[in-house]
Chains A and B, each alone.
Chain A
């Protein structure tokens, strides 16, 4: 009798959720920070759950090989950037982008205000040191465009301690993080977006294997819809998701989370996304980026732009 009741109960529960949710793992390429806010929001507000998805977010770190993880089916989804997708494709990875958080790349260079630079070009055309993560295409693009005659490029060590200790140092960073931290430490950073150079890959894009997307068109549609809802919610009130992320990433203080979310918002929500929806990707932008990468010889071949995204 008891047994039967339990059976009944289980059956009831199962039918209530209509079907067991599909489990998805989403690998981040960095620690929980505001640039992932919409994903955390969608998980905790149950937007994915509502669409029958159970998304587990796996934080990353320095050099997390997200594209390799997705390609190797260690995870179903991962966070990467548009230029890495094109690079990965040229090396044989069968991945595509299904959602682009940042319409404008939040990658920026921080200089000290005391140096009086007016625009990005000044950083490269004056003497000084630029700490940049090596191997990233943007630095090659800038080299081709500006020519590094006086400036010295050195590896980026992470953090901002180097920046704080050297007035002549320019470093890379995210608009939503490093400038805020530097200001808190008493520096007066002046920030220039890399996008000003004309090199502007979609940033924080969700990648999946191509065959996975083809086999599960509904799942992708549902994921994108839930993610959009997550970002809409985060953009209107980031406080709850920020609190959750701050717990997972104690290296960033709540104040920086708050300011970061504000600083990044205009790069995520643009006139175009208002018309076409958050996460929008255009053929023109992908084509432009592929051509740029070809021109600076980071890749030796490209594919039709529509094959890079969905």
Chain B
């Protein structure tokens, strides 16, 4: 109980202390509010621009959901495809690393030219940066099945499909969930970068506010974007807990 109180109470205390110090430092001009706005100014923007910010957040959340969903579905399918044939694996796996290393800010303009303004380009950008962790972690999970269990399935004459469904896929679940945690955060970043040029959502607000030197609004928008990322990662954690609580020590032994 005491431990729990500490776990929740301390971060809140630290947060309040930091915000107070920050506000204080800005008020007595230790830090220049034009460069780093004080918390009250950010809060003010959150209230003043709430209609604009929240509707933009809705658009961003929609794009993030679609791009993350695509990453999950296509990432896992790609990993399965790579896994089922060694030839395919050796031929194509090196190229999936493209998604890992692509400088999204550089190709974002191309995405707009290929997919058009608005949500399609944003979804493409979010997808490109978030798909690789799903592919890589799923593949690692599939490849790390216990050799003894593989023997067990062979012994009973399991078909490839049976082994995939009953052994490899469920066995890779903890790996997949780890990949999704990384991928979720990246999907938010990718979508916002896409929005800089796609012209919608939180990213667009950040872009415009920056040009108008509305640093407070930039921070307010960034705050909402990180809130969105946090929410997504918490949802993934929850899903992971529900799926793995019975069998995986990383989840089962948590509390």
Residues of B within 8 A of A136 (CB): 211
CB of A53 within 8 Å of the partner chain: no
A71 to B210, CA, bound (A): 15
CB of A157 within 8 Å of the partner chain: yes
> Could you mark each residue 281-309 of chain A with 1 if its beta carbon is under 8 Å from any beta carbon of chain B, else 0?
00000000000000000100000000000
A154 to B210, CA, bound (A): 17
CB of A186 within 8 Å of the partner chain: no
CB of B133 within 8 Å of the partner chain: no
| CB closest residue in chain B, given A129 | B117
CB of A133 within 8 Å of the partner chain: yes
Most chain-A Cβ atoms within 10 A of its Cβ — which of B35, B196, B207, B214? B35
Residues of B within 8 A of A92 (CB): 33-34
> Could you mark each residue 89-116 of chain A with 1 if its beta carbon is under 8 Å from any beta carbon of chain B, else 0?
0011100000000000000000000000
CB–CB A155/B196 < 8 A = yes
CB of A162 within 8 Å of the partner chain: yes
User: In the assembled complex, how far is the CB of residue B59 from the closest CB belonging to chain A, in whole angstroms?
Assistant: 14
Dominant secondary structure of chain B at its interface with chain A: helix
> Please, how many residues of chain B have a CB less than 8 angstroms from a CB on the other chain?
23
B193-227, CB < 8 A from A: 196-199, 204, 207-215
Q: Which of A33-41, A60-68, A225-233, A253-261 contacts B (4 or more CB under 8 A)?
A: A60-68
Dominant secondary structure of chain A at its interface with chain B: loop
CB–CB A72/B35 < 8 A = yes
Residues of A within 8 A of B210 (CB): 63, 65, 135
User: In the assembled complex, how far is the CB of residue B37 from the closest CB belonging to chain A, in whole angstroms?
Assistant: 9
> Could you mark each residue 105-137 of chain B with 1 if its beta carbon is under 8 Å from any beta carbon of chain A, else 0?
000110011000100000000000000000000
CB–CB A157/B109 < 8 A = yes
CB–CB A71/B35 < 8 A = yes
CB of B32 within 8 Å of the partner chain: yes
> Could you mark each residue 74-96 of chain A with 1 if its beta carbon is under 8 Å from any beta carbon of chain B, else 0?
00000000001001100111000
The answer to whether A71 and B34 touch (CB under 8 A), given A87-B212, A88-B213, A91-B214, is yes
CB of A158 within 8 Å of the partner chain: yes
> How many residue pairs bridge A and B at CB < 8 Å?
64
| CB closest residue in chain B, given A158 | B109
CB–CB B32/A135 < 8 A = no
CB–CB A135/B109 < 8 A = no
Residues of A within 8 A of B198 (CB): 155
> Could you mark each residue 209-242 of chain A with 1 if its beta carbon is under 8 Å from any beta carbon of chain B, else 0?
0000000000000000000000000000000000
CB of A251 within 8 Å of the partner chain: no
The answer to whether A91 and B113 touch (CB under 8 A), given A135-B210, A155-B204, A157-B197, is no
Residues of B within 8 A of A87 (CB): 212-213
Residues of B within 8 A of A72 (CB): 32, 34-35
CB–CB A71/B197 < 8 A = no
CB–CB B211/A155 < 8 A = no
A154 to B213, CA, bound (A): 20
> Please, how many residues of chain A have a CB less than 8 angstroms from a CB on the other chain?
25
CB–CB B209/A135 < 8 A = yes
Q: Which of B33, B113, B204 contacts A157 (CB 8 A)?
A: B113
CB of A15 within 8 Å of the partner chain: no
CB–CB A298/B212 < 8 A = yes
User: In the assembled complex, how far is the CB of residue A141 from the closest CB belonging to chain B, in whole angstroms?
Assistant: 13
A28-52, CB < 8 A from B: none
Q: Which of B113, B211, B212 contacts A162 (CB 8 A)?
A: B113
CB of A134 within 8 Å of the partner chain: yes
A133 to B208, CA, bound (A): 9
> Could you mark each residue 97-110 of chain B with 1 if its beta carbon is under 8 Å from any beta carbon of chain A, else 0?
00000000000110
A88 to B198, CA, bound (A): 26
The answer to whether A154 and B117 touch (CB under 8 A), given A71-B35, A91-B214, A135-B209, is yes
CB of A277 within 8 Å of the partner chain: no
The answer to whether A91 and B34 touch (CB under 8 A), given A134-B207, A135-B208, is yes
Q: Which of B34, B35, B207 contacts A155 (CB 8 A)?
A: B207
Residues of A within 8 A of B207 (CB): 134-135, 155
User: In the assembled complex, how far is the CB of residue B213 from the closest CB belonging to chain A, in whole angstroms?
Assistant: 5
A139-158, CB < 8 A from B: 154-155, 157-158
CB–CB B214/A68 < 8 A = no
19 contacts between A and B (CB under 8 A): A63-B210, A67-B213, A68-B213, A68-B215, A72-B34, A84-B213, A92-B33, A92-B34, A93-B34, A134-B199, A134-B204, A134-B207, A134-B208, A135-B207, A155-B117, A155-B204, A158-B109, A165-B113, A298-B212
Q: Which 10 A-B pairs have the closest CB atoms?
A: A135-B211, A135-B208, A157-B109, A155-B199, A72-B35, A92-B34, A93-B34, A154-B117, A134-B208, A135-B212
A63-B211, A155-B207 provided; 19 other pairs, C-beta below 8 A? A67-B213, A71-B35, A72-B35, A88-B34, A92-B33, A93-B213, A133-B211, A134-B204, A135-B207, A135-B209, A135-B211, A135-B212, A157-B109, A157-B112, A157-B113, A157-B197, A158-B109, A159-B109, A165-B113
